Amino acid sequence: MRERENKTIIVIDDNEDFRNFTGTILRFEGYEVIEASSGREGLGKIRKYIPDLILCDIEMADLNGIEVYKDLKNEKNLKKIPFVFITAAQVENTYIRELATLEHFEILKKPFSLQELLECTRRYLVAENSYRLN
């Protein structure tokens, strides 16, 4: 099993303050964090770095988080990467029908606590070895 500091998380969110805050917390916990400010930038970085976990805002201007998720699920080497949508409750309601058609994801609702972020991250990274072997 790889050490925590070798685990890579990509944070995709168009809110710079949120990205910086989340990235700082996760780096402090020993993870490598790559930030992207848009869905397109995020897809490029996911393809380049093949992370262990993706944290992605749903509502973004260019590609929303659902579109990013769907693109990844069509790529054999990326489709099993754990994916967590990060969103405000009112945004989730806007996309509820689309989300209902998807599988294998989690939603972390803003505002969330530090403990919720770390529990979510650990949950997927502890199980991370299993998704890459299948």
Place of tokens 């803003």: 110
Domain boundaries defined on the chain: 4-128
pLDDT of residue 2: 42
Q: Is the pLDDT of residue 129 over 60?
A: no
Q: Phi, psi (5° rounding) for residue 70?
A: -65, -40
Tokens coding 83: 């994916």
Q: Which helix (H) or strand (E) holds 32?
A: strand 32-36
DSSP string, 32-66: EEEEESSHHHHHHHHHHH--SEEEEES--SSS-HH
Q: Is the pLDDT of residue 59 over 50?
A: yes
Higher pLDDT, 6 or 53: 53
What's the predicted TM-score (pTM) here? 0.85
CATH number of 4-128: 3.40.50.2300
